[in-house]
Structure 1
Amino acid sequence: MAHLLGAERISLEYPTKVVFEDITIGIGEGDRIGIVGRNGDGKSTLMKIVAGRIEPDSGQVTVRGGTTVGMLDQADTVDETLTVREAIVGDIPEHEWAGDAKIRDIIRGLASDLDWDALVGTLSGGQRRRVALAKLLIGDWDILLLDEPTNHLDIEGVSWLARHLNSRWPKGSGALVVVTHDRWFLDAVCNTTWEVHDRILEPFDGGYAAYILQRVERDRQAAAVEQKRQNLMRKELAWLRRGAPARTAKPKFRIEAANELISDVPPVRNPIELTQLATARLGKDVVDLVDVAVSFDSTPLFSDVTWRIAPGERTGILGVNGAGKSTLLQLISGDLEPTSGRVKHGKTVKIAKLTQQLGELAEVENDKVHEIIARQKKSYVAAGQELTPSMLLERLGFTSAQLQTPVKDLSGGQRRRLQLLLILLEEPNVLILDEPTNDLDTDMLAAVEDLLDTWPGTLIVVSHDRYLLERVTDQQYAVIGGTLRHLPGGVDEYLKLRDAEERAGAAGRATSAGRARVDGRVGAEGAVSRSTASDDRVGAGSTVSRSADPTLTGAAAHAARKEIGAIERKLEKLGKETAAFHAKMAEHDQSDFEGLGKLTQELQALEAESESLEERWLELSEQLD
């Protein structure tokens, strides 16, 4: 693997903090590196040092001659006086960029909804961010440094970006370094993870999942060493009190196999217990949307939507920006009346909503955290355990020193966590979370997910964070085509539906001069087909309108059933092979990261094949319904 860039013995110190101390790193051809760590530990600073935007106090960064480095900084801005076209493609002649498949794909993935002739200064912050990313990706770079590239991207955008980065360079060439809190994205694109913490950088093989496994094993070994030290200290104390100790054998710490790391860990949630608790708090009626339609200025947004939300239901909502997700949340919360149809709330329903704006903290921004907490209820019950507000704060990553901090001086992530805490202390029984992952690092996201696992109520989540959506919800729906559709196949099914719509829209447009032409105003792959709705009962008492799929009959149905049988047999075989691979990884030397990495890649190939077969099984099953 050819070396591209190196940073040797880097140190950096600010007046109040030492950021890095004598770290050495290297980036080579084929590296796909994800950087994780707590907010404030120096992830973005490390990227800027590597890019040459910050000079370290000591040490040096060297780049191989001829190597090109491109970076997307969180603070990067685009000239507001340029049009979207000028900002993205610059002075490249139209016949060149419109005829370049790579550039067309980047525009489709990031700028298809933007007015091609609009001034950048008229765009929202998220739109400007996408323009900056598109501008960077159009260039040819040996090394790409991306700081939070998934911010302001929806699930489709994140999926597109992962596909683009995975196919951008030939295998074993180019290099990617990315800072992001999107854990699904880290797993999708990275083969190495760097954890920044305590002024050092610690490398791990593999993406986020492999990093977590290795970190757990590291922590267990450290805990065993600490336990052994404490045992020795207790023996020393006993000797001082009673004389010479009895002879004892030294305890041995056996490295647990990978599957044993979680063999004694219960499921993240007990759905039966949570549903029983939710029903006791809510009764059988929560929120019913019946034949709901919503229009703005005579323009329909929803039509004929029926959804009966059940107690204890944990639901994720998907949809492109502007599809109506926020409107749906307003209907559920009662903040918006439908144009037609009705929304019925149960008598005992108490709804709380975590919004993106942090408006709930505006009136207390001058108060200190401990003053706000002192005004709240004295306890909160989670998983049968009674927790004080201070204990909740600790679970959400607050230190005792931060209790004396005024709200206005908290970081964005701290304010977000405090906002969630105050909502939970009000004990709602229906909780609506609108983009709850903003400003949170991966460790804090895990802490929030752990807290939500024990929350006994109905949970509705809108998020572009695929990992969190699949982690804390049990089912997903899509706002698509003017209706609400259940997704038995989850996020993968949603992406498949959207891709089919994009292809249908592209096929319906005429080509000009024998080549594709990007439509700058509406977007490269524009129109979305509308679906007809029919009721489909799903989940624990929910109903939702969905699109009707074409039904196979006769010989086609017979062939489909035959193929389904073959797929089921193949899936059973792959399941056994996957289980055998897990056992093989469990028996493998856990310190052999290179060997584990190869096994992980083989396991991922098996899982990818299984996912592909499952998608085909789902497609055929829907056509036979």
Structure 2
Amino acid sequence: MAHLLGAQAIGLEYPNSVVLESASLGIEEGDRIGVVGRNGGGKSSLLRILAGTLDPTEGFVTRRGGVRIGVLEQDDTLDADATVGHTLVGEAAEHEWASDPKIRDVIAGLVGDLDWQARVGTLSGGQRRRLGLAALLIGEWDVLMLDEPTNHLDVEGITWLARHLKNRWPKNVGGLLVVTHDRWFLDEVATSMWEVHDGVVEPFEGGYAAYVLQRVERDRIAAAAESKRQNLMRKELAWLRRGAPARTSKPRFRIEAANRLIADVPPVRDSVELTRMAVARLGKDVVDLEEAGVRYGDRDVLREVTWRIAPGERTAILGANGAGKSTLLGLVAGSIAPTSGSVKRGKTVRIGILDQRFSALDEVGGDLVRQVLARYKTSYAVGEREMSPAQLLERLGFSRDCLSSRVCELSGGQKRRLQLLLVLLSEPNVLILDEPSNDVDTDMLAAMEDLLDSWPGTLIVVSHDRYLVERVTDRQYAIFDGRLRHLPGGVDEYLELSDAAKAGSEGGASKKSSGVGAPKAPGKNAGSAKTDGGSAAGQNGAELSGAERREAEKEVNSIDRRLAKLADKVAQVHARMAEHDQSDYVGLRKHADDLRVLEAEVAELEDRWLELSEKLND
């Protein structure tokens, strides 16, 4: 494969930190590289050095003659006085750009909702981000370098971008370098990975899933080597403690060897660890929405939403930007009052909210981190241990020095960690997460998901991070046309319904011949939104009498409860397998057999649940 660009022994150093140290790497034709690493580790700096917008303090970058490099940085560099149309296509006549299917696809995929005559300065931050990405993708490039391209994109936009990048160049042509924390996106577009950490750039083959496997194996080998080194160190130190009589001139080489061993201890990387924390007791009643609606002016943002949230429920809310997801969360949390219907909350409900705007930190922006923590309790129950807030903060990857920093001086990722800690310190039993993956690196996301795995309360998540949604929630709902619809098929079903709705609105048809049409209001099922009483019943729905419908609803409720219990059993088996002696193959096989039996029952129940759900929805 032809060489596109490369770096030889590049380094980047600031007065108080070393970002990169003697890193050598290259991009060849056909490379699709994902870049990961903790926040502040040097990912964006690496992209800027390779793109030529930042000079390294040592080393050099080589580029093939005539290579065209397109760069999307995190900073907004658009001209605020330009129009949307001029930003996208410049002075090109309409027939010139409209005749190119690639340009039409980019415009439809990212900025089809924007007014071409609008000034860039009047757009929101998310709209400007999409506009900048679209303007870049319209151009012809040999290498694309994208820094957090999925920021401000909804699930449909992220899916479109992944498809575009996969099909943008023929095989073994072009180069892609993308920095993102969206792990589903990385698995879709990347064929290799770079991890930036401790001043080095470590390559891995395959996408994000393959990278995780290789990283675990790397850490296992390193742990084995460290264990051997520690055993040798203990022997050396034991010999050194034998006392003065043994320390003659003859064995001095052993003292020197022990000192070399101690000096060889590598610096410990920042660790991110979260452990299950205490929550307030949660009763049987959580939050019930009955025919709830929210109207702003002449627009119904939400309408006829019936949703009975159960104790321990783990739910994700999907929907396009502006569909009403944050409004729905406001109804649940009580910060927004319904204009129709009612919302009832249980007496023991204590809600914790992680929002997008760092609102919990606004009032303490000028305070030191340690001052903020001092206003809470002096100790907290974490598992079986008592820990101080400062110790919890260290588990979230903060150093002791950060305790003396002002909240307003923290990076976006650090603010997100601190905000999450403050939410957890309030010991809620209902946790609402609104875009929790914003400004968070992949290691922190994995730690957050580990915490949510053992979260004993009710969890409601709004996120465009498909990986996180599928990882931590058991069921998904979507908001279509102001109504809440259950998605038995998860994110894939949501994307199909969204595409069908767009096709129906563009073609003027209400339904496709395949029978999958514009989203309709959901039918009744356990804990889901209520069906739209004005919708026409399908063939199956017409065959169900009132008694049959009630029996079907009872069976769906029963299946839901059984699936919840099975999910707990599956989690317990996984936990036992993780704690089991990995060399005991007989015991592990028994656990695996138990897991297969449980998964088979889950699959059978899910099939029956889908069958009943289709009858009730039609």
TM (norm. structure 2) is 0.78
SS in 1 for 2:477: strand
Letter in 2 for 1:360: A
Report if the CA contact (8 A) 1:304-1:533 is conserved. no
Letter in 1 for 2:187: D
The structure 1 segments of at least 4 consecutive aligned residues displaced by more than 6 Å after TM superposition are: 547-550, 615-622
In the alignment, which residue of structure 1 is the partner of 2:169? 169
In the alignment, which residue of structure 1 is the partner of 2:74? 74
In the alignment, which residue of structure 2 is the partner of 1:574? none
In the alignment, which residue of structure 1 is the partner of 2:529? 544
User: What pairs up with 1:177-576 in 2 under 5 angstroms?
Assistant: 177-239=177-239, 281-383=281-383, 385-508=385-508, 531-538=519-526, 542-545=527-530, 551=538
Shift of 1:378: 3.1
Letter in 1 for 2:471: R
Letter in 2 for 1:123: L
Report if the CA contact (8 A) 1:34-1:194 is conserved. yes
State how far apart, in whole Å, the 1-side matches of 2:385 and 2:392 are.
11
In the alignment, which residue of structure 2 is the partner of 1:255? none
In the alignment, which residue of structure 1 is the partner of 2:560? none
Deviations 1:330-367 (A, max 9, x none): 11111122121110011111112112121222222222
Greater displacement, 204-213 / 446-455: 446-455
Report if the CA contact (8 A) 2:5-2:61 is conserved. yes
Q: Are residues 546 and 446 of structure 1, via their aligned partners in 2, closer, same or farther at CA, if it must alter by over 3 Å?
A: farther
In the alignment, which residue of structure 2 is the partner of 1:3? 3
Report if the CA contact (8 A) 1:483-1:546 is conserved. no
State how far apart, in whole Å, the 2-side matches of 1:138 and 1:549 are.
43
Q: Are residues 269 and 159 of structure 1, via their aligned partners in 2, closer, same or farther at CA, if it must alter by over 3 Å?
A: farther
In the alignment, which residue of structure 2 is the partner of 1:146? 146
User: What pairs up with 1:607-618 in 2 under 5 angstroms?
Assistant: none
SS in 1 for 2:115: coil
Report if the CA contact (8 A) 1:111-1:131 is conserved. yes
Shift of 1:59: 1.8
In the alignment, which residue of structure 1 is the partner of 2:97? 97
Letter in 2 for 1:300: D
SS in 2 for 1:477: strand
Structure of higher RCO (CA pairs closer than 8 Å, 6+ residues apart):
1
In the alignment, which residue of structure 2 is the partner of 1:592? none
SS in 2 for 1:112: coil
State how far apart, in whole Å, the 2-side matches of 1:56 and 1:206 are.
28
State how far apart, in whole Å, the 2-side matches of 1:91 and 1:400 are.
54
SS in 2 for 1:6: strand
Report if the CA contact (8 A) 2:5-2:62 is conserved. yes
User: Sequence identity, in percent?
Assistant: 61
Report if the CA contact (8 A) 2:275-2:382 is conserved. no
Report if the CA contact (8 A) 2:312-2:459 is conserved. yes
Please report the RMSD computed on the Cα atoms of aligned residues, expressed in angstroms.
Answer: 2.9
In the alignment, which residue of structure 2 is the partner of 1:49? 49
State how far apart, in whole Å, the 2-side matches of 1:306 and 1:201 are.
51
State how far apart, in whole Å, the 1-side matches of 2:449 and 2:213 are.
18
Shift of 1:77: 1.5
| Structure 1, unaligned runs of 5 or more | 244-267, 510-527, 554-614
Number of positions where the alignment pairs a residue of Structure 1 with one of Structure 2: 516
TM (norm. structure 1) is 0.78
State how far apart, in whole Å, the 1-side matches of 2:537 and 2:177 are.
44
Greater displacement, 62-71 / 198-207: 62-71
Q: Are residues 489 and 308 of structure 1, via their aligned partners in 2, closer, same or farther at CA, if it must alter by over 3 Å?
A: same
Deviations 1:208-258 (A, max 9, x none): 111111111111111111111111122234445679xxxxxxxxxxxxxxx
State how far apart, in whole Å, the 1-side matches of 2:159 and 2:522 are.
29
State how far apart, in whole Å, the 2-side matches of 1:311 and 1:621 are.
23
Aligned: 1:132 with 2:127: no
Shift of 1:623: 5.5
Letter in 2 for 1:537: N
Shift of 1:622: 6.3
SS in 1 for 2:33: strand
State how far apart, in whole Å, the 2-side matches of 1:534 and 1:622 are.
9
Deviations 1:40-79 (A, max 9, x none): 1111111111111112222221111222111111124211
State how far apart, in whole Å, the 2-side matches of 1:393 and 1:466 are.
27
Q: Are residues 233 and 15 of structure 1, via their aligned partners in 2, closer, same or farther at CA, if it must alter by over 3 Å?
A: closer
SS in 1 for 2:60: strand
Deviations 1:547-576 (A, max 9, x none): 7898567xxxxxxxxxxxxxxxxxxxxxxx
| Structure 2, unaligned runs of 5 or more | 247-273, 510-515, 541-605
Deviations 1:110-165 (A, max 9, x none): 10111121111110111111111100000111110001111111111111100000
Letter in 1 for 2:7: A
